[in-house]
A = this chain, B = another copy of it.
């Protein structure tokens, strides 16, 4: 069992514009969550913005011994995350999970990628 129950991703930006076939080459951000435990994880994702109140939580489930890669451009409840605006996310889970953040940017003709393990909370923070 590997992981933490809280994670943060300060970088968030869904590029407004894409080149290439949908859906895989449409510019997007993904939060990849891995649950190696023997129970399903209920995950709450909150989005933070520069100039307005946080939005969420977006509720998701990551079943036991499964990984889910959530595309942020497909979030719609309670509201969509707008393209072309900066944001950040916090992930809270009721079971230990591991989170990684990835962006595919295809605004120009050839795509660009970034990725990083998210920042794990835990301990006395």
Contacts and interface: CB of A to CB of B under 8 A. Distances in A.
A20 interface: yes
B48 A30 contact: no
A99 B108 CA distance: 27
Given A66-B48, A66-B50, A25 B125 contact: no
Interface in A73-116: 84, 86-88, 90, 96, 98-116
Interface residues of A, number: 63
A105 B92 CA distance: 30
- Closest 9 A-B residue pairs measured CB to CB? A67-B88, A110-B110, A114-B115, A2-B121, A10-B32, A10-B34, A10-B100, A34-B88, A113-B114
21 contacts: A2-B90, A3-B119, A9-B34, A10-B33, A10-B34, A10-B99, A13-B69, A32-B88, A34-B48, A34-B90, A48-B67, A50-B66, A54-B65, A67-B86, A102-B114, A105-B113, A107-B111, A108-B111, A113-B114, A115-B115, A116-B116
Interface of A: 1-4, 6-13, 19-20, 24-25, 30, 32-34, 36, 48-51, 53-54, 65-69, 84, 86-88, 90, 96, 98-121, 125
